[in-house]
Amino acid sequence: ADQLRLILGDQLNRQHSWFAGFDEKIVYVLMEVRQETDYVLHHAQKIIAIFAAMRAFAQELQEAGHRVHYLKIDDLQNQHGIPLNMQMLAQMYGAEKFAYQAPDEWRLDQQLSQLASDPQLPGVMVDTEHFYTSRAEVASFFSQRKQWLMEAFYRSMRVQHHILVDEKKQPIGGAWNFDHDNRKSWPGLPWEPADNRPRYDHSTLWDSVVAAGVKSFGEPQAEQFRWPLNRNDALQQLQHFIQYALPNFGEFQDAMSSKAWRLFHSMLSFALNVKMLSPREVVNAVLDAYQEQQLPLASVEGFIRQIIGWREYVRGVYWHRMPHYEDANYFAHQQALPEWFWNGETKMRCMATAISQSLQHAHAHHIQRLMVIGNFSLLVGLDPKAVHQWYLGIYIDAFEWVELPNTIGMSQYADGGHLATKPYVSSAAYIDRMSDYCKGCHYNKKLRLGEDACPFNALYWDFHHRHENLLGRNPRLGIVYKQLRQMKDDDLIALKERARYIQLHLHKI
């Protein structure tokens, strides 16, 4: 061989031009390394999903006739770092150069560009052929603007890619978004689509991960693993979503229920983020179905916005803000995560449900991540970097380029408002409106004070009061600060005492 081609665990793009031809002199390399399992404590299912998908991908390549070298977690030759393994394999194959696809993570980008500059084994970087935009495109779009409003970027994407626009570049249906139609709570019907995702037994793989000493948390569920781990399964899941869930996606996008954890979400984030599916094919499949089946525009538009809008946008924020983005801490929040983030044992039913579900399935949908777990974390003042590491570890779809802007920026407002125009926080009323979590909760959603009062209520007012110097002039928070200013001193003091009690007794809340 004269060339190695490295494929990272989130670069399983079968459509990549690398695989269009065959060359005996090229060896494709995939590796399961401690460098990648250990940079944060991961959910067991995340480790299983990535390794199993990598193994399936390697096998597909081999069956198609490509040369592949796959290093398993328990291979004796495995050096557990990418550079050491590449040097070892280069020697083994007599390869003089290597190629790699642009990593989506800063850390790997640094490491591989350094490796590639080694004259012993020079490397070249190629595109992943996955995203709509380049790393710097979002930043250049916003270069002339003061605020990074996602909506502005999204509209330009719609026009640029001719998605749901007419010949005059105007939005189909007369509006760019239908958010006002998309804020319903779920009354219990229609029922969420049956979960027919294929199940696999990964106990052998999991045993080898454990035997190798990799630490993890969460439920491994080796016997009934549901995530699509190869392209065929992912494509089937896409079709299943379009047929059975997409029609209701828009309406119930923000709804939460303890009876139905998936509701009408696509569960495609893992397949998209490891590049088994391309965002283009997902969007095109949805547009085709819209043409053929007259799906509700609010659902179709709402879903497409997540993919061509939010997903590309947060990636642009990531590349613009790295390398220091993870240290952003606008409110100087320092509180450590309570133990129950790792076992779900809190008396707050919303937090217990969202965290237990995350531990069981390595998944929670957007509003659970943003308006339950993230909301509480911000109100109570958890250290945003610790919150970020928790999100990066627990979710099946968590890769830093998408998780970090969502956590540090959108959810914790730790960047001082780069992507959010105000902090995403609420008292109990919002959670009660959008979910059934408050029914049967230990705490009373209506009370602000006393042992039985829902912690969100006092924390909400205390948060705004204690950060008045940073938020008080935000025009979007005018009503909140007006109410605060009208509050009697005694009431405010009582609320702040209750909030302080919660912060000091977090372990038993």
The footprint of ligand FAD (CB under 6 A) covers 265-269, 272-273, 306-307, 310-311, 314, 365-366, 369-370, 374, 391, 395, 397-398, 402-403, 406-407, 410-411
Nearest distance, CB of residue 312 and ligand FAD, angstroms: 8
Evaluate whether 185 touches 434 at the Cβ level (below 8 Å). yes
Q: What is the DSSP letter of 259?
A: S
Nearest distance, CB of residue 129 and ligand FAD, angstroms: 17
What phi and psi values does residue 426 have, to the nearest 5 degrees?
-155, 165
Nearest distance, CB of residue 365 and ligand FAD, angstroms: 5
Nearer to ligand FAD, 101 or 273 (CB): 273
Cis peptide before 187 (omega within 30 of 0): no
Nearer to ligand FAD, 123 or 393 (CB): 393
Nearer to ligand FAD, 98 or 376 (CB): 376
Nearest distance, CB of residue 207 and ligand FAD, angstroms: 27
Nearer to ligand FAD, 200 or 310 (CB): 310
Nearest distance, CB of residue 366 and ligand FAD, angstroms: 4
Nearer to ligand FAD, 154 or 200 (CB): 154
Nearer to ligand FAD, 205 or 367 (CB): 367
Evaluate whether 163 touches 157 at the Cβ level (below 8 Å). yes
Evaluate whether 441 touches 406 at the Cβ level (below 8 Å). no
- Rounded CA Rg of the chain: 24
Nearest distance, CB of residue 17 and ligand FAD, angstroms: 23
How many whole angstroms separate alpha carbon 353 and alpha carbon 413? 24
Nearest distance, CB of residue 473 and ligand FAD, angstroms: 25
Ramachandran assignment for 423, one of left (phi > 0), alpha (psi -120 to 50 degrees), beta (any other)? beta
β-bridge pairing 3-6 and 26-31: parallel
Burial 4-19 (b: 16+ CB within 10 A, else e): bbbbbbbbbbbbbebb
Alpha helices in 143-190 (DSSP H): 150-160
Nearest distance, CB of residue 315 and ligand FAD, angstroms: 8
Nearer to ligand FAD, 54 or 267 (CB): 267
β-bridge pairing 42-43 and 216-217: parallel
Nearer to ligand FAD, 115 or 378 (CB): 378
The helix or strand, by DSSP H or E, that contains position 141, with its residue range, turns out to be helix 137-142
Inter-CA distances, 499 with 107, 379, 427, 455, 484, Å? 38, 9, 13, 7, 15
